[in-house]
Copies of this chain bind each other. A is one copy, B any other.
């Protein structure tokens, strides 16, 4: 079951036999798996006129629970992007009537972003096929393998994080 990464490793073995390129087996497959998964998820999002960024914002609002209101800073932290990037995502979603911005009554500087009825309906609808796609991608793994994979990825995440 040799894949593309295996062929890359063979090339390195031939060209640089003294080098330990074994970490590439993991890092290479991690990158490619993430790319493939992103592309697959994008297919589902597109069926609802969404992309990963928009889905992300709407899903963050939905899972925050009633009354489905969050500040832009929280959205920025959650998505690991700048607040200006958030503002621009929100402009698009607001133009489509999927979210609305309200003044924060407790903080004159603040804004609260809320799901509109249309936004809530859309994300509730898109969530199910999205989960089905994720289920399909992980379906071949046993329960034990899933737990293990999640744990290993978390450790990779921790190890990669240190440097900014």
Does A11 sit within 8 A of B, measured CB to CB?
yes
Binary flags per residue of A26-59, CB closer than 8 Å to B gives 1, else 0 = 1101111111111111010000000000000000
Q: Please, how many angstroms separate the alpha-carbon atoms of A134 and B149 in the complex?
A: 19
Residues of chain A at interface, number, CB under 8 A: 65
Q: How far is the CB of A115 from chain B (nearest CB, A)?
A: 12
A26 contact from B12, B31, B41, B153, Cβ within 8 A: B153
Binary flags per residue of A16-28, CB closer than 8 Å to B gives 1, else 0 = 1001111111110
Does A157 sit within 8 A of B, measured CB to CB?
yes
Q: Are B27 and A157 in contact (CB under 8 A)?
A: no
Stretch in contact with the other chain, from A83-91, A106-114, A136-144? A136-144
Given contacts A22-B146, A26-B150, contact A157 B63 (CB under 8 A): no
Q: Are A159 and B140 in contact (CB under 8 A)?
A: yes
A binding-site residues for B, Cβ under 8 Å: 1, 3, 5, 8, 11-12, 14-16, 19-27, 29-41, 43, 62-65, 80, 127, 131, 134-141, 145-146, 148-150, 152-164
For the complex with contacts A33-B34, A37-B160, A136-B159, 13 further pairs of A-B residues with Cβ separation under 8 Å are: A3-B154, A5-B154, A15-B62, A15-B64, A20-B131, A26-B134, A26-B138, A27-B134, A30-B37, A31-B34, A31-B37, A33-B157, A148-B148
Q: Shortest 9 CB-CB distances between A and B: which pairs?
A: A34-B34, A23-B134, A36-B160, A29-B153, A11-B63, A33-B157, A25-B150, A37-B160, A149-B152
